[in-house]
Amino acid sequence: MTRPIELWYWPTPNGWKISIALEEMGLPYEMKPVNIGVGEQFTPAFQAISPNGRMPAIVDPDGPDGMPLSIFESGAILQYLGAKTGKFYPHDLRGKAEVDQWLFWQVGGLGPMAGQTHHFRQYAPALTKDQRHLAYGVRRYTNETNRLYGVMDRRLADRPYLAGDYSIADMAAWPWVLPEHQGQDLADFPHLKAWHERVGSRPAVIAGRALGDDLRRNLAASGKEAEEARKVLFGQRAR
């Protein structure tokens, strides 16, 4: 019997990538919450799995050689799961290259840029009293996210998914399209909007996106608890 994969997780876009993939691939898994608002990502036990101190990470008890294998970095996890199951990740070199380039584009571009947009628009106002310093960051990253939305919109003009067929590239990108938090209007990107709805209607995406919703705290909220969580998350408190 296949033993469940340990998913070290918190409900954020990077976490959703992997919960969605596990649901899509039909792999049994067990969630191991990593509360990033109280600093659990900095514990020695977690950093033994994820040396960078970031989630998600997985431990596959049935690794390629029959021994447990731990993997950190969401892009590497997606490639591993796709190769392990033979699902949503092509076997041929051309197909694999199509998927990889969009997966790496998300990991190196859409995720970091949209994440900074989200930070400056949602969290940063609660972190500083001098709001004047925020204007450049808000403008810079909102505009770059707009550009990246445009890249996706053009790509999706003549195909239903980023690499043609539905793949781990779509699972990686979909959670990071959060227009309400990133100052964007999907009406300006009709092909992206149709793709976002198409992917978002998949039962496995719905299930993966909902995983751990009850765990999440609103770090943009006011109050002492939220303030302490922001200090931990954004490196303002010594560890």
- Residue 234: its H or E element: none
- In this structure, what CATH number is given to the domain that contains residue 109? 1.20.1050.10
Domain interval for residue 142? 93-201
CATH code, 17: 3.40.30.10
**Residues with pLDDT less than 50, the chain:** 219-220, 222, 230, 236-239
- In this structure, the answer to whether residues 36 and 109 fall within a common structural domain is no
Residues 104 and 196 occupy one common structural domain: yes
pTM for this model (two decimals): 0.90
Q: Are residues 137 and 187 in the same domain?
A: yes
Identify whether residues 41 and 128 lie together within a single domain: no
Q: Is residue 211 part of a domain?
A: no
Please indicate, yes or no, whether residues 12 and 34 belong to a single structural domain of this protein. yes
Q: In this structure, is residue 239 part of a structural domain?
A: no
The answer to whether residue 238 is domain-embedded is no
How many Å is the maximal CA-CA distance in the chain? 58
Shared domain check, 132 and 56: no
Report if residue 163 sits inside a domain: yes
Does one domain contain both 159 and 225? no
Domains held by the chain: number: 2
Same-domain status, 30 and 119: no
The confidence score (pLDDT) of residue 76 equals 98
Question: What separation in angstroms does the CA of 120 have from each of 59, 97, 105, 125, 166?
Answer: 33, 34, 22, 7, 32
Domain match, 40 and 121 both: no
Contact assessment for residue 6 and residue 50, using Cβ atoms and an 8 Å cutoff: no
User: What is each CA distance from 235 to 41, 46, 209, in whole angstroms?
Assistant: 12, 17, 27
Within this chain, do residues 167 and 148 fall inside the same structural domain, yes or no? yes
- Give the pLDDT score at 115: 92
Do both 133 and 44 map to the same domain?
A: no
Q: If we measure between CA atoms, which residue out of 206, 172, 204, 212 comes closest to residue 25?
A: 204
Domain assignment present for 225: yes
Listed in sequence order, the DSSP H helices in 40-167 are 44-47, 74-85, 93-105, 111-118, 134-155
Which pLDDT score is estimated for 233?
57
Same domain, 82 and 110: no
> Is residue 208 one of the residues assigned to a domain?
no
Residue 206's CB is within 10 A of a number of other CB atoms, namely 12
Give the Cα separation of 142 and 164 in Å (integer): 28
